[in-house]
């Protein structure tokens, strides 16, 4: 049959949301389950998550954080301690009300053993962690307290979408306590920089760092910083957030300490998190119409070797040569570890097998057949270069693999950055802004716009109007806002440009 026009149907242009679902399916990353909004993360998807987790975890530990594990359940009364916080989460939480099942008169199992107080499956853990921090923090000597948790959380989602919005998701949540507002704010910034570093240098996903407006803040935060990335449909994805919580939660939970001067003070806290949503961001940043493209540093397998065995009599020899090259490659290092190499000798047609790896986004494929053995060559495919494959001299190729992977990693980042720059405009009037975000082709409303940088006087009424009119929001007030200017809505003075976009 040869190569189909594209391995993924529909293409991005034809139907972006459906393309996304098909990429996830073709790469065998995850599936929906009969439990509403809850996905199963399959081995290839979970392998990517393990790499995300391990890379970030090292970064957290290098900056002095330690991991701990807190209860899954939060008593309802705890969640209510911070007024904005409960307002933000009450609408979408899983409530445990009973502690067993018991057969009723008809022999049907029904919830029984009603709890005195309902428990909420954590949507985030500020209040339960705050309760424990209040025990642990007594004196300024106990500060800063720098804790991280890797865990599952649940937020009931009405319109779930694999990785991007799921009722249950995996994440990490950092929680820290400091003796001053300045130090807590510095921590909030440090963790945002850590996320930006990770997003750009590991996921190869360019991000804009900035602050959320009041309407988009985390419920209970004084200030929410975020990283925002542009997906290939030119919508924004919030990929990580870091919150300065002031003394809101320390007052709600009683986190007090004796200062150097012997005075009792409330602690200053932060929290910050990224989730399996990053995988959704990675997909929509790099995948193409042939399927997933995984940045090498995040790939569960860097290189797959495909034996080409047309004749039974050379089969053993070819497989042996594949194992030999795998062994040589595994002895090489990449990104602080050994190269991860698989030999795929499944009993499948060559084309089908090759395309299964393309769809999984493997950075490098190597095909080896009987003629390659004779000639001392290998047939190499680089996922970032599409369908083209080329013969290369075996020995010099093997040595180059780590460099090639670095190149792939850099290329993916450069490409994504160029895409974002091409699709970012500076807008100086309300009319231009509305035109920019109004689809030319009404039947494909998702393919238009991008990031618009515009002056805004920070008055929430324009934010509200923009949301209603165009579904566009202020994604962030970037760290470098540039110069003062004139608000495109009111004509008032603006302290700097903000990033406007449609978003996930």
In this structure, are strands 341-343 and 303-307 parallel, antiparallel, or unpaired? Answer: parallel
Nearer to a copy of itself, 110 or 395 (CB): 110
> Minimum CB separation from a copy of itself for residue 171, in Å?
12
Q: Which of 13, 100, 371, 375 binds a copy of itself (CB under 8 A)?
A: 100
Determine, following the binding rule CB under 8 A, whether residue 308 of this chain makes contact with a copy of itself. no
* Residue written as token pair 């980042």: 413
Q: Which of 17, 43, 386, 491 binds a copy of itself (CB under 8 A)?
A: 43
Determine, following the binding rule CB under 8 A, whether residue 96 of this chain makes contact with a copy of itself. yes
> Minimum CB separation from a copy of itself for residue 119, in Å?
7
Residue 48 C-beta-side C-alpha neighbours within 13 Å? 30
Nearer to a copy of itself, 16 or 44 (CB): 44
* Residue written as token pair 């002095």: 64
> Minimum CB separation from a copy of itself for residue 313, in Å?
24
E strands of 276-332, at which residues? 303-307
Angle of helix 43-62 relative to helix 181-201, nearest 10 degrees, comes to: 140
Q: Which stretch binds a copy of itself (CB under 8 A): 37-45, 181-189, 202-210, 261-269?
A: 37-45
Beta bridge partners of 256: 266
> Minimum CB separation from a copy of itself for residue 94, in Å?
5
Nearer to a copy of itself, 123 or 381 (CB): 123
Beta bridge partners of 227: 209, 240
Q: Which of 47, 220, 240, 291 binds a copy of itself (CB under 8 A)?
A: 47
Angle of helix 16-26 relative to helix 350-360, nearest 10 degrees, comes to: 120
Nearer to a copy of itself, 86 or 364 (CB): 86
Interface positions, 58-77, toward a copy of itself (CB under 8 A): 66-76
Determine, following the binding rule CB under 8 A, whether residue 35 of this chain makes contact with a copy of itself. yes
Determine, following the binding rule CB under 8 A, whether residue 46 of this chain makes contact with a copy of itself. yes
Task: Pull the structure tokens for residue 443.
Answer: 């039947």
Burial letters 387-408, b for 16+ CB under 10 A, else e: eeeeebebeebbeebbebbeeb
Alpha helix segments (H runs only) across 361-475:
370-375, 394-422, 430-436, 460-470
Question: Which backbone phi and psi does 254 adopt, to 5 degrees?
Answer: 75, 40
Nearer to a copy of itself, 128 or 209 (CB): 128
Interface positions, 342-381, toward a copy of itself (CB under 8 A): 347
Handedness of CA 122, 224, 175, 284 (dihedral sign): positive
Q: Which stretch binds a copy of itself (CB under 8 A): 116-124, 280-288, 322-330, 383-391?
A: 116-124
Alpha helix segments (H runs only) across 202-299:
248-253, 277-286
Evaluate whether 77 touches 119 at the Cβ level (below 8 Å): no
Element (H, E) at 274: strand 268-275
Q: Which stretch binds a copy of itself (CB under 8 A): 100-108, 263-271, 391-399, 425-433?
A: 100-108
> Minimum CB separation from a copy of itself for residue 91, in Å?
5
Determine, following the binding rule CB under 8 A, whether residue 34 of this chain makes contact with a copy of itself. yes
Determine, following the binding rule CB under 8 A, whether residue 442 of this chain makes contact with a copy of itself. no
Determine, following the binding rule CB under 8 A, whether residue 398 of this chain makes contact with a copy of itself. no
Taking residues 12 to 31 in sequence order and writing x for each that binds a copy of itself by CB under 8 A, - otherwise, the string is: -------------------x
Q: Determine how many CB atoms are found less than 10 A away from the CB of residue 132.
A: 17
In this structure, are strands 223-230 and 208-211 parallel, antiparallel, or unpaired? Answer: antiparallel
Q: Which stretch binds a copy of itself (CB under 8 A): 44-52, 214-222, 223-231, 371-379?
A: 44-52
Evaluate whether 174 touches 271 at the Cβ level (below 8 Å): yes
Nearer to a copy of itself, 16 or 49 (CB): 49
CA distances from 174 to 67, 193, 231, 268 (A): 9, 14, 26, 14
Determine, following the binding rule CB under 8 A, whether residue 111 of this chain makes contact with a copy of itself. yes
Radius of gyration (C-alpha) of the chain in whole angstroms = 26
Task: Pull the structure tokens for residue 373.
Answer: 């053995």
Determine, following the binding rule CB under 8 A, whether residue 42 of this chain makes contact with a copy of itself. yes
Beta bridge partners of 338: 333
- Under rule CB under 8 A, how many of the chain's residues touch a copy of itself? 61
Nearer to a copy of itself, 46 or 436 (CB): 46
Q: Which stretch binds a copy of itself (CB under 8 A): 10-18, 45-53, 328-336, 361-369?
A: 45-53
Q: Which of 23, 24, 41, 299 binds a copy of itself (CB under 8 A)?
A: 41
Evaluate whether 469 touches 435 at the Cβ level (below 8 Å): no
Element (H, E) at 73: strand 73-75
- 3-class secondary structure, 174: strand
Interface positions, 139-198, toward a copy of itself (CB under 8 A): 141, 147, 151-152, 154, 156, 168, 170
Chain contacts with a copy of itself (rule: CB under 8 A): 31, 33-35, 38-43, 46-47, 49-50, 66-76, 78, 80, 86, 90-102, 109, 111, 113, 118-121, 128, 131-132, 135, 141, 147, 151-152, 154, 156, 168, 170, 347
């Amino acid at each position: 049959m040869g190569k189909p026009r594209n391995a993924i149907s529909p293409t991005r242009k034809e139907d972006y949301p459906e393309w996304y679902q098909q990429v996830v399916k073709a790469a065998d990353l995850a599936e929906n389950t009969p439990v509403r909004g809850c996905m199963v993360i399959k081995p290839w998807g979970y392998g990517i998550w393990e790499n995300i987790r391990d890379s970030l975890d090292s970064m957290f530990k290098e900056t002095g954080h330690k991991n701990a594990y807190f209860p899954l359940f939060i008593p309802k009364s705890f969640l209510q301690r911070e007024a904005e916080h409960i307002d933000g989460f009450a609408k979408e939480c899983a409530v445990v009300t009973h502690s067993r099942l018991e057969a009723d008169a008809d022999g049907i199992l029904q919830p029984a053993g009603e709890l005195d107080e309902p428990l909420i499956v954590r949507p985030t853990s500020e209040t339960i962690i705050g309760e424990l921090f209040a025990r642990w923090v007594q004196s300024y000597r106990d500060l800063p307290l720098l804790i991280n948790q890797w865990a599952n959380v649940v937020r009931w989602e009405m319109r779930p979408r694999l990785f991007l919005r799921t009722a249950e998701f995996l994440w990490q949540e950092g929680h820290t306590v400091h003796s001053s507002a300045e130090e807590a704010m510095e921590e909030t910034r440090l963790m945002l920089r850590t996320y930006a570093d990770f997003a750009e240098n590991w996921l190869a996903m360019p991000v804009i760092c900035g602050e959320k407006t009041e309407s988009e803040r985390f419920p209970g935060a004084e200030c929410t910083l975020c990283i925002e990335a542009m997906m290939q449909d030119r919508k924004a994805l919030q990929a990580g957030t870091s919150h300065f919580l002031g003394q809101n939660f320390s007052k709600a939970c009683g986190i007090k300490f004796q200062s150097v001067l012997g005075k009792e003070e409330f602690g200053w806290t932060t929290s910050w998190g990224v989730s399996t949503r990053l995988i959704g961001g990675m997909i929509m940043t790099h995948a193409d119409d042939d399927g997933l493209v995984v940045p090498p540093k995040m790939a569960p397998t860097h290189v797959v070797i495909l034996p080409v065995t047309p004749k039974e009599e050379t089969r053993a020899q070819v497989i042996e040569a594949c194992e030999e090259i795998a062994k040589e490659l595994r002895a090489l290092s990449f990104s602080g570890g050994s190269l991860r190499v698989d030999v795929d000798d499944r009993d499948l047609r060559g084309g089908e097998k090759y395309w299964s790896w393309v769809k999984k986004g493997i950075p490098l494929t190597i095909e080896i057949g009987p003629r390659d053995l004779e000639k001392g060559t290998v047939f190499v495919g680089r996922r970032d270069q599409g369908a083209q494959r080329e013969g290369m001299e075996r020995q010099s190729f093997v040595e180059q693999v780590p460099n090639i992977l670095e190149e792939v990693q850099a290329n993916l980042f450069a490409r994504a950055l160029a895409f974002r720059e091409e699709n970012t405009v500076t807008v100086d009037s309300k009319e231009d802004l509305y035109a920019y975000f109004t689809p030319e082709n009404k039947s494909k409303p998702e393919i238009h716009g991008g990031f618009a940088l515009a002056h805004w006087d920070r008055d929430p009424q324009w934010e509200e109007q923009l949301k209603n009119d165009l579904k566009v929001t202020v994604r962030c007030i970037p760290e470098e806002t540039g110069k003062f200017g004139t608000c495109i809505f009111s004509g008032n003075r603006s302290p700097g440009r903000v990033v406007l976009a449609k978003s996930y």
